[in-house]
């Protein structure tokens, strides 16, 4: 069985490697902005993005005869039903963190696993919701954190597994899903279909 992660995220790569040691990385090139214009519900959008990412890679390989499994994932940060993407620049990162500091927000991680095995094609999709609680941050704290550059390529302008964790009170939900991959769901599916 060949395993494919439809993402170039180093965090997702690291998390998937805790379940399986050998897999290929083929990043999806779907137009995420197109879907974001159609769907504003963060839970539905995370589900659709994970599915589209996995399906785009699966569809490209479909004519091949071998058996394979494709994993697609997408993580969205939602504050008051407003989806917060990656900051456009330093000022945008500061704006986002000013919103989040002293508040809670939700993280939606959509995960899709598509399996081509023998004469079957199996689709499994799930969305995991977690809630993250931020400490109060001064303007100096926010600027200092933004100047580390860590927030600049992160949805919600922070990394729960990085420097940003010092500004968090805690979370409800699944840590790995907050980082970017629902490893519990993936492992359960792999075991269900005897892939590992």
The residues that are catalytic are 74
- DSSP letter assigned to residue 123: E
Contact 136, 98 (CB under 8 A): no
Phi (first) and psi of residue 132, to 5 degrees? -115, 140
State which H helix or E strand residue 115 sits in: strand 104-117
Q: What is the C-alpha end-to-end distance of the chain, expressed in Å?
A: 9
According to DSSP, the residues that pair with 107 across neighbouring strands are 77, 130
> The tokens 């600049």 sit on which residue?
152
* Pairing label, strands 2-5, 68-79: parallel
Determine the 3-state secondary structure of 101 from DSSP.
coil
């Amino acid at each position: 069985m060949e395993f494919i992660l439809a993402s170039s995220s180093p965090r997702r790569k690291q998390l998937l490697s805790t379940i399986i040691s050998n897999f290929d990385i083929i990043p999806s090139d779907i137009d995420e902005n197109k879907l974001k214009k159609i769907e504003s519900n963060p839970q539905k959008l995370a589900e659709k993005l994970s599915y589209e990412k996995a399906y785009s890679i699966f569809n490209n390989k479909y004519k091949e005869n071998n058996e394979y499994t494709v994993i697609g994932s997408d993580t969205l940060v939602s504050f008051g039903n407003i989806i917060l993407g990656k900051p456009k620049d330093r000022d945008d990162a500061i704006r986002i963190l000013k919103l989040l500091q002293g508040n809670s927000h939700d993280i939606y991680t959509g995960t899709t696993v598509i399996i081509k095995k023998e004469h079957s094609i199996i689709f499994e999709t799930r969305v995991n919701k977690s809630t993250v609680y931020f400490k109060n941050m001064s303007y100096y704290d926010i600027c200092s954190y933004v100047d580390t550059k860590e927030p600049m390529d992160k949805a919600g302008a922070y990394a729960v597994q990085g420097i940003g964790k010092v500004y968090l009170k805690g979370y409800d939900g699944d840590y790995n899903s907050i980082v970017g991959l629902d490893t519990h769901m993936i492992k359960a599916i792999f075991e269900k279909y005897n892939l590992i």
